[in-house]
A and B are shown apart, each in its own frame.
Chain A
């Protein structure tokens, strides 16, 4: 066959060429492997005075009005200022607003500081505060909707004074403004035509650090605002790295690539505690984990039944096992990290399984058929339907609680579903008996406690999914919203907490702490406040290079002695997208060549 002969001759020539190619490829691969395994010798000298910490997910937007996630808010709170602040003591402190006064229960006067400027140099004036308030009033913003509803007329009294007329008394206003209300520059935002979809790529705020640049999915770089009204920060830059894997974050902290990370309770805490030059700090969170009931169903609607369950739960064990002791056993439904409102003197239910069993016996729930579980008083099988989210700590938390309930003879059916479905079950379908959930309170407890326990909030999609209705509590909740006098409001909220602890629509379980790990050899001066932990304006101003030991954290206006140098420090240049595509094409070309080689060999 002539064709075969031709192939044979051609084959031998091709063979030798191909052989050389193969050897060459092999050599290339070996060289590449060696280069890769070699530790990178050319690590860029890290910026002096750049504080590096990590986010687990990238931010979505820098829009101070239309942010939706916690990551967005955290970053925005660096670039923008809030009118007030909550200090490490949990108390209200001045921010951009240096003083405020309720002239009557529906009229407040705010006085701004006079030396604040926007990052573009324009001074911060009453126009900006007025603009921001009006924007909040005229749009239903995510999270600020209830504030917007209460605002009526905003008037500029003078260049640094604003008068706010409310539609009705709204006591949460100052604390909400210390939390999520960001003052925005009028001269920029009045020109924006579609503020909703505007991603605000070059944000101009008045905060201690200004935005420099951002590489999506990689990092965000900020530099100090030397004209910050409370004094310039002592560090030059903030670099937020996006590192989704918590393990990588820990490794980066240990190797010095990060200066601060937030961690979850687990064996990593012990590990970091024993790492040199690393210190573990806990900060009061405003988290609370609790058990909630569907009060529409029997027997959850019987107070004694709920009390029995409260006695059956060993909160200390939950704290020890799941949180490694980092937190506190919970008593009230408002968290102790908000000292303005927390009432420690509520009825407590200690771990007492014997008492729990007694109560259940008295209620008629006995184990008649000796299967180990109690039946309804009328003898039918009794199973508690307990849906839970199947992510994070929830399956484990639910399992622990279910075990404790089964220990007193209550059969529990846990239905783990993914979070979206759980919300549907709880808020829309009301198809559950008992559930474990958690909240992260704002500085002002109103949004949480009003929405969860006021009877008007029992509606499909509403947050009172338990169906709790108590007219005394309703009145107290309405009154505390109107009580602009802090002492008066405090008493009202104290009473609410007492009643809730007696009624037990929810059983508070634990108050988990936030846990951070910081390097002690790079920067000092981290300050912790409730809800935001170490990431707050006090830290940003107080952080300084760790040249000396500081005994007490300073959170009041830092001394104006400036220690920063004036040497030029190169900016971290963004990696352009091009090498990435080149890389991809190179590899694909290599593969394609290899395939072609292979095909050629078959000829």
Chain B
């Protein structure tokens, strides 16, 4: 028992160390970019004196050391500060406005593609060498190599622009009064094209993984025994095959969550979807240090939590795994 606790503690320490390193990098990296947060106002005609005043307002006129200390303290207070790009909105508010959309987009995509991927991959492995397998494998190859943003553009062109079935952008229709049910449908309508685009890539990855790991597992003895026992194919497939084969898929699945906050920036750009991916991109271009720091913080935390959960799952699922 203490071995497990030791394992969890050492992993936690390791993760905390990484977290601290990332925090510091988080602070330094944005400040190392050329230019400053007031650069974007030069083209609007802000004079040097006015920009210097703005720098003071942003709190950037103090020494780097002072800023760093204040940053670390604020992280532990949970205060992410005020955004430069969206001044005077607080960073937390800016992020929290967009985070649900990204979670919705990626959650739906990852979830649906998990289901479809596992089903298709399983049947594909089962029918190895047959027509079904070839079609699925080829199909998933194509889906995996098509650039996702281009696929999005094609979907948009065909289904949004020519066929007018789906809206061209955004997450909702703005400025129109709608009932709750209608609003839900409206959101789903706006979600569908981005989700399908994302799913294309994710499904391909899932199919490949499930199929490959099942192909490793299926020929093994205990499967043969199960078949000899006369169990239904489906039971063998799911109960026995997937149980071992699911591990790489779960790894992949959990790691995907790390990408949730930032991963969909390409899709968000194509569909003008108000998510956090595009937010990070805009914040980087605008040198919005607090917003970048806040977003990266959430991102890093999400990823580290995902890694931690992953290790826990390993520990639970397979006590045979060496802990070194």
Q: Which residues of A contact B (CB under 8 A)?
A: 1, 4, 7-8, 11-12, 15, 32, 35-37, 40, 42-44, 52, 60-61, 63, 66, 68-70, 140-146, 149, 196-199, 215-219, 239, 241-245, 247-248, 251, 257, 418-421, 423-425, 427, 437-442, 447-448, 451, 457, 459, 461-463, 570, 572-573, 575, 579-584, 586-588, 591-592, 594-595, 598, 601-603
Name the B residues within 8 Å of A257 (CB-CB). Answer: 176
- Tell me if A36 and B41 are in contact (CB < 8 A): no
Name the B residues within 8 Å of A437 (CB-CB). Answer: 43
B120 in contact (CB, < 8 A) = no
- Tell me if A11 and B239 are in contact (CB < 8 A): yes
- Tell me if B40 and A419 are in contact (CB < 8 A): yes
Tell me the bound Cα distance from A247 to B89 in angstroms. Answer: 28
Tell me the bound Cα distance from A280 to B104 in angstroms. Answer: 39
- Tell me if A420 and B286 are in contact (CB < 8 A): yes
- Tell me if A36 and B100 are in contact (CB < 8 A): no
- Tell me if B272 and A245 are in contact (CB < 8 A): yes
B229 in contact (CB, < 8 A) = yes
- Tell me if B169 and A244 are in contact (CB < 8 A): yes
In the complex, besides A247-B161, A440-B45, A588-B111, 8 extra interface pairs with C-beta distance below 8 angstroms are: A40-B186, A143-B50, A199-B88, A218-B172, A248-B169, A420-B287, A459-B48, A583-B187
- Tell me if A602 and B238 are in contact (CB < 8 A): yes
- Tell me if A575 and B53 are in contact (CB < 8 A): no
Name the A residues within 8 Å of B179 (CB-CB). Answer: 42
CB distance from A214 to the nearest CB of B (A): 11
- Tell me if B39 and A243 are in contact (CB < 8 A): no
B22 in contact (CB, < 8 A) = no
- Tell me if A594 and B115 are in contact (CB < 8 A): yes
- Tell me if B177 and A573 are in contact (CB < 8 A): yes
Choose one: A244, A447, A459, A598; the contact of B115 (CB below 8 Å). A598
B47 in contact (CB, < 8 A) = yes
Nearest opposing residue in chain B for A580, CB measure: B100
Name the A residues within 8 Å of B286 (CB-CB). Answer: 420
Tell me the bound Cα distance from A43 to B54 in angstroms. Answer: 45
Nearest opposing residue in chain B for A63, CB measure: B88
Name the A residues within 8 Å of B174 (CB-CB). Answer: 215, 218-219, 241-243
Tell me the bound Cα distance from A4 to B178 in angstroms. Answer: 54
B184 in contact (CB, < 8 A) = yes
- Tell me if B88 and A196 are in contact (CB < 8 A): yes
CB distance from A479 to the nearest CB of B (A): 20
B224 in contact (CB, < 8 A) = no
Instruction: Give the 7 A-B CB pairs with smallest separation, nearest first.
Output: A591-B111, A420-B35, A245-B169, A602-B238, A423-B39, A140-B53, A245-B272
Tell me the bound Cα distance from A244 to B282 in angstroms. Answer: 13
Known: A442-B45, A601-B238. A424 touches B39 (CB 8 A): yes
Known: A141-B50, A423-B35, A573-B177. A595 touches B111 (CB 8 A): yes
CB distance from B256 to the nearest CB of A (A): 13
Name the A residues within 8 Å of B82 (CB-CB). Answer: 197
Choose one: A43, A144, A420; the contact of B176 (CB below 8 Å). A43
Known: A145-B53, A248-B272, A420-B286. A11 touches B235 (CB 8 A): yes
25 A–B contacts from the bound complex (CB under 8 Å):
A4-B229, A8-B229, A8-B235, A11-B231, A11-B232, A11-B235, A15-B235, A61-B89, A140-B53, A141-B50, A145-B53, A149-B49, A244-B170, A245-B169, A248-B170, A248-B272, A419-B40, A423-B35, A461-B51, A461-B52, A572-B177, A575-B178, A580-B100, A583-B184, A602-B239
Choose one: B88, B104, B231, B272; the contact of A8 (CB below 8 Å). B231
- Tell me if B112 and A143 are in contact (CB < 8 A): no
Known: A142-B54, A591-B112, A602-B243. A44 touches B176 (CB 8 A): yes
B319 in contact (CB, < 8 A) = no
B263 in contact (CB, < 8 A) = no
Name the A residues within 8 Å of B103 (CB-CB). Answer: 584
- Tell me if B107 and A462 are in contact (CB < 8 A): no
Tell me the bound Cα distance from A15 to B236 in angstroms. Answer: 13
- Tell me if A420 and B33 are in contact (CB < 8 A): yes
Known: A580-B100, A580-B187, A595-B111. A462 touches B48 (CB 8 A): yes
- Tell me if B235 and A243 are in contact (CB < 8 A): no
B226 in contact (CB, < 8 A) = yes
B182 in contact (CB, < 8 A) = yes
CB distance from B133 to the nearest CB of A (A): 21
Type the 1/0 row for B18-52, where 1 means its CB is closer than 8 Å to any CB of A.
00000000000000011110011111111111111
Tell me the bound Cα distance from A583 to B171 in angstroms. Answer: 12
- Tell me if B45 and A439 are in contact (CB < 8 A): yes
Tell me the bound Cα distance from A348 to B188 in angstroms. Answer: 58
Tell me the bound Cα distance from A596 to B21 in angstroms. Answer: 37
- Tell me if A36 and B169 are in contact (CB < 8 A): no
- Tell me if B239 and A603 are in contact (CB < 8 A): yes
- Tell me if B45 and A448 are in contact (CB < 8 A): yes
Name the A residues within 8 Å of B232 (CB-CB). Answer: 8, 11-12, 15
Known: A141-B50, A218-B175. A420 touches B44 (CB 8 A): no
Tell me the bound Cα distance from A215 to B173 in angstroms. Answer: 13
Q: Among A245, A418, A457, which residue has the most Cβ atoms of chain B within 10 A?
A: A245
Name the A residues within 8 Å of B39 (CB-CB). Answer: 419-420, 423-424
Name the B residues within 8 Å of A462 (CB-CB). Answer: 48
- Tell me if B239 and A60 are in contact (CB < 8 A): no
CB distance from A231 to the nearest CB of B (A): 27
Name the A residues within 8 Å of B161 (CB-CB). Answer: 247
- Tell me if B285 and A420 are in contact (CB < 8 A): yes
Q: Among A44, A215, A219, which residue has the most Cβ atoms of chain B within 10 A?
A: A44
- Tell me if B178 and A7 are in contact (CB < 8 A): no
B125 in contact (CB, < 8 A) = no
Nearest opposing residue in chain A for B34, CB measure: A424
- Tell me if B274 and A217 are in contact (CB < 8 A): yes
CB distance from B324 to the nearest CB of A (A): 30
Choose one: B47, B57, B112, B229; the contact of A447 (CB below 8 Å). B47
B97 in contact (CB, < 8 A) = yes
Nearest opposing residue in chain A for B93, CB measure: A216
- Tell me if A243 and B169 are in contact (CB < 8 A): yes
Name the B residues within 8 Å of A66 (CB-CB). Answer: 87-88
- Tell me if B40 and A420 are in contact (CB < 8 A): yes
Nearest opposing residue in chain B for A421, CB measure: B34
